[in-house]
Structure 1
């Protein structure tokens, strides 16, 4: 566009509110032009909706429009503080997020208004309103985003928390796919449901398995759109790879069905392309599987007495993993930290307690034969019937210390968080990085460089190998389904996702006593950088997992999606050409300023 034309267009901007309300063809034409020229509108600026217009939206959504206030304002601060260690209570507050911020990156700040959606029609009303008035739009279900994508100041929030229904199917066929795919067992989950809602319905009551996240309070929709790894993804694949169909509201306000034959590019993009970039998902349908007989867990901690002993311990752990655990039976974490400590926190499926103990016997014998390695947390293997893994009543009786129930008087009985996840409620991130580690590093001739890298990494800060977040070692059908998703292709050949991270207590703006320790944050972020640099020395082109990654990642398009990014960008242009949906480092976000308010290029 020539400079003179640009100035002419800019001159019309003060008239836009009047023109947009006129309903004329001229108004529609100018409105289309405005989406590519002007910034989104903030409160107090010309074009911000009037009180009458907000009231019209409120009536349209059945009164479910909320004007949000800072969560620690006025007299509510004490009650909000009391509930900050309860992730269910945090999620039930539209002005809060499960992460309170990230040092030098972002802090949790509520939207100006929220539509507490209960139906796809409510979502359509919110999307249409944001598009017409050029508002910053945010979508939140579970609110666990480390990158701060679940909130933004001066925005309109589509809050799907109350859309939490779960329905089981014995023989589901996606719309328009009759005759092309066989009916299969599945579960439909609304966008606001948490994984504990899905697990309670599918496994505890239904006797089947659905692949979801390890943390029970994570939102189903956000996890699926990011890729989604559970504790045992090497057996059942990613959540995204098991998506059969989605209902989604796109930027034009249309409710669309997306599956392998209907809107297939939208469907593919929703399978790992990141939440909040292509539309607002309102319902997902996922395949379910037969349950194994048992689920179980193994825990162990060992401390080495010297550098030489620690290096030998790491070498034996890597070799043992490759020999005995690199298969669909095992998932979760091996941790290296403190310059001398090795910790096992793993899960298994389809093995008895005795079989798990037999599997680990050679490694334990190796440790016991050495005088320079000391067991500080004894080996423990637990197993239970698979149907009880998320059974709150069973866990209250047999493993009460493993769970933290939602203790509010009116809370559903099936709602609980794992005790190990509770410290993430409201946490403030100091640093967080991840990298896919290729399975080639496990080959006998490549293990020494990996061992050296882990030894060096643990000297700086420490690292966890999330063995369930790499699909190498999975069955062929799992690999094939994951290949047909937008997730970074490196996941297919990775044996683990390496994560180094740390954070502190909640630090919401305005929170009494909630000032983050920024000096410590800087120290930890630097140490985490050194830790991950040691691992990237042996995996120099390693990508990152979009949901668990560095906020400051430079080449994020390549890092999150690799060769899949051009196809994702094409889907973005097709379904959201004007960029209504924006999240930090989301598909198409390079066209906008970091806050998502100003378009940088068209």
Structure 2
């Protein structure tokens, strides 16, 4: 281990000397002599096997030669029908995906899909497709630095992966080198009173904090928080990574309303820059980088290897569980009217302190409310923190009165209330759970402000559009997670989030799917419908808000406006400063418009 550490330091030192002596144009030279493209596996400039072997030695054996997750289903030396059979469940398990260097949480153009032989499927072809060719299984920040330097010198595409919860296809890349930080685990530390590593006091935070030293998931951090009677703002899915794209992209949570977005919780971060150097970003140093990683998107300014986040005193939580559904298909119009009543109530419900999550669908192919047979229906779980069940009932009373006219005549309505002594108990019971992974889908979203939600005619038109037609396999999810502290944090000087969050109450998601085995034309048609029609209807009533980038349309042609909004200029400035050569490329990230993908899957300079 001592040799490996010195080898890494030697590599970094060599790069530092090269830059000092004016030999930093190796990357530019290779780029210009490869048609302006990053080197791919079929290019002469791709590192030779000996170079990869030496690099692996430098890393202490932490370089993985990647293979497709489903290679066991195909003819060849790695064929294993038992492993292949288990993949039907494994690739839909977020824990399995998080523990894999390449398994996609949300497949994008999978060129080696699992084969269900038991269902009569026949194996086709298996290629790497858009997967990385090699992965650095980093267990310390120096290995991350070494990967960054190697990718820069070799002019190869670099991608960053933690747990694979990636809807946008940012953590994969054809012919790339991946940095996998899931096994970089240097401890989770509770601080009774926050102390910055450099004694910086400009954050103004006087409360507790938790240092997350690597690629941990929220479930692990929640356990530390509960043991110390505090709340951290993290993902609704406990298998989501803490320091990667979730928080850096904004981060919605059951606790947002009371404490702000996950990005707003970051007090300090350790970041590996494109130069390979490791720096601290906080309110005192590298403040523009600090701003960029607090909501400006992950994977594009540097690689975050640790963060310190705010921790808040725990409190009791009261919650409401509510469902509604049409008694017959003939009552679906009444259901849609009741749905409009619910959506229009969201701003007032949020202002009263209620927040949480829900979903709905019309004419679904399967029941949409747990344990009930309805294929058209709506359900939510909303919570109010630090208050009683009576407070929760009072907050919902006006909405309940408006909906009561449908109860038993055209709609089934159900409501119940619960109270929990701590946030952790509420989270485990009603909010936290492993989300669905492993399936292809087309998805889009929009942030909806009060103006959009109270525009009666426009709202009804939008809801009827995103409901879709029978057979479209559409699902809508809403996140009533804003207002409150999220709005107050609009004055936060180091925020990189889309400003639309500061005025919008709801993050609304519409997703469409297709039958297994659907051809490319069918999938393209669904994507087109989501992008142009479904999201278009939301944009019509909320033209200026944009969307939450982590759960957005990866094919959005206006992603720079919709993902980043008014924060874009300062994010672009940070990108130019900290990554001037564009080493950290990812689709729809800030700076990605400087590149394009060619017919071989390589990324090349756009101009």
TM-score by length of 2: 0.81
Q: Conserved in 2, the CA contact under 8 Å of 1:140 and 1:159?
A: yes
Q: In the alignment, which residue of structure 2 is the partner of 1:156?
A: 177
**What's the CA shift for 1:103?**
9.1
Q: Conserved in 1, the CA contact under 8 Å of 2:334 and 2:410?
A: no
Q: Give distance in 2, aligned partners of 1:207 and 1:371.
A: 41
Q: In the alignment, which residue of structure 2 is the partner of 1:261?
A: 284
Alignment equivalent of 1:215, drawn from 211, 220, 237: 237
Q: Does 1:85 align with 2:85?
A: no
Q: In the alignment, which residue of structure 1 is the partner of 2:51?
A: 53
For residues 102 and 484 of structure 1, do their structure 2 counterparts lie closer, same or farther at Cα, with a shift above 3 Å needed? Answer: farther
**What's the CA shift for 1:479?**
3.8
- Is the partner of 1:289 in helix, strand or coil? strand
Alignment equivalent of 1:563, drawn from 560, 563, 566: 566
For residues 322 and 172 of structure 1, do their structure 2 counterparts lie closer, same or farther at Cα, with a shift above 3 Å needed? Answer: closer
Aligned ranges for residues 318-333 of structure 1 at < 5 Å? Answer: 318-333=343-358
Q: Conserved in 1, the CA contact under 8 Å of 2:270 and 2:278?
A: yes
Q: In the alignment, which residue of structure 1 is the partner of 2:5?
A: none
Q: Does 1:135 align with 2:153?
A: no
**What's the CA shift for 1:112?**
1.1
For residues 152 and 377 of structure 1, do their structure 2 counterparts lie closer, same or farther at Cα, with a shift above 3 Å needed? Answer: farther
- Is the partner of 1:495 in helix, strand or coil? strand
Q: In the alignment, which residue of structure 2 is the partner of 1:370?
A: 406
Alignment equivalent of 1:466, drawn from 478, 482, 487: 478
Q: Give distance in 1, aligned partners of 2:597 and 2:174.
A: 13
Aligned ranges for residues 239-318 of structure 1 at < 5 Å? Answer: 239-294=262-317, 296-303=319-326, 305-306=330-331, 309-318=334-343
**What's the CA shift for 1:370?**
3.2
Q: In the alignment, which residue of structure 1 is the partner of 2:597?
A: 594
Aligned ranges for residues 444-463 of structure 1 at < 5 Å? Answer: 446-460=455-469
Q: In the alignment, which residue of structure 2 is the partner of 1:235?
A: 258
Q: Give distance in 2, aligned partners of 1:548 and 1:537.
A: 19
Q: Conserved in 2, the CA contact under 8 Å of 1:90 and 1:96?
A: yes
- Is the partner of 2:541 in helix, strand or coil? coil
For residues 144 and 235 of structure 1, do their structure 2 counterparts lie closer, same or farther at Cα, with a shift above 3 Å needed? Answer: same
**What's the CA shift for 1:577?**
0.6
**Per-residue deviation, residues 299-350 of structure 1 (Å, max 9, x unmatched):** 3122274465345423432454344444433222364634995513133132
**Per-residue deviation, residues 264-301 of structure 1 (Å, max 9, x unmatched):** 11111111111110111100111111112125351312
Q: Give distance in 2, aligned partners of 1:55 and 1:490.
A: 48
* Structure 1 unpaired stretches of 5+: 1-19, 404-416, 506-513
Q: Conserved in 1, the CA contact under 8 Å of 2:64 and 2:134?
A: yes
**What's the CA shift for 1:534?**
2.5
Q: Give distance in 1, aligned partners of 2:490 and 2:311.
A: 17
- Is the partner of 2:564 in helix, strand or coil? helix
For residues 348 and 61 of structure 1, do their structure 2 counterparts lie closer, same or farther at Cα, with a shift above 3 Å needed? Answer: same
Q: Conserved in 1, the CA contact under 8 Å of 2:145 and 2:272?
A: yes
Alignment equivalent of 2:433, drawn from 414, 418, 425: 418
Q: Conserved in 2, the CA contact under 8 Å of 1:466 and 1:498?
A: yes
Aligned length, in residue pairs:
543
> What's the Cα RMSD here?
3.3
Alignment equivalent of 1:101, drawn from 100, 108, 129: 108
**What's the CA shift for 1:200?**
1.6
Q: In the alignment, which residue of structure 2 is the partner of 1:579?
A: 582
Q: Conserved in 2, the CA contact under 8 Å of 1:41 and 1:47?
A: yes
- Is the partner of 2:158 in helix, strand or coil? strand
Q: Give distance in 2, aligned partners of 1:241 and 1:108.
A: 36
Q: Give distance in 2, aligned partners of 1:51 and 1:317.
A: 60
**What's the CA shift for 1:371?**
6.3
**What's the CA shift for 1:600?**
2.2
Q: Conserved in 2, the CA contact under 8 Å of 1:103 and 1:518?
A: no
- Is the partner of 1:380 in helix, strand or coil? strand
**What's the CA shift for 1:153?**
2.7
Q: Give distance in 1, aligned partners of 2:548 and 2:402.
A: 34
Alignment equivalent of 1:348, drawn from 357, 375, 383: 383
Q: Give distance in 2, aligned partners of 1:258 and 1:185.
A: 19
For residues 149 and 598 of structure 1, do their structure 2 counterparts lie closer, same or farther at Cα, with a shift above 3 Å needed? Answer: closer
Q: Does 1:533 align with 2:536?
A: yes
Q: Does 1:433 align with 2:468?
A: no
* Structure 2 unpaired stretches of 5+: 1-14, 72-77, 114-127, 365-374
Q: Give distance in 1, aligned partners of 2:231 and 2:24.
A: 49
Query: Which deviates more, 448-457 or 284-293?
Result: 448-457
For residues 98 and 318 of structure 1, do their structure 2 counterparts lie closer, same or farther at Cα, with a shift above 3 Å needed? Answer: closer
**What's the CA shift for 1:94?**
0.9
Alignment equivalent of 1:167, drawn from 162, 183, 189: 189
Alignment equivalent of 2:221, drawn from 186, 198, 205: 198
For residues 307 and 88 of structure 1, do their structure 2 counterparts lie closer, same or farther at Cα, with a shift above 3 Å needed? Answer: closer
For residues 496 and 23 of structure 1, do their structure 2 counterparts lie closer, same or farther at Cα, with a shift above 3 Å needed? Answer: closer
Q: Conserved in 2, the CA contact under 8 Å of 1:246 and 1:258?
A: yes
Q: Conserved in 1, the CA contact under 8 Å of 2:271 and 2:279?
A: yes
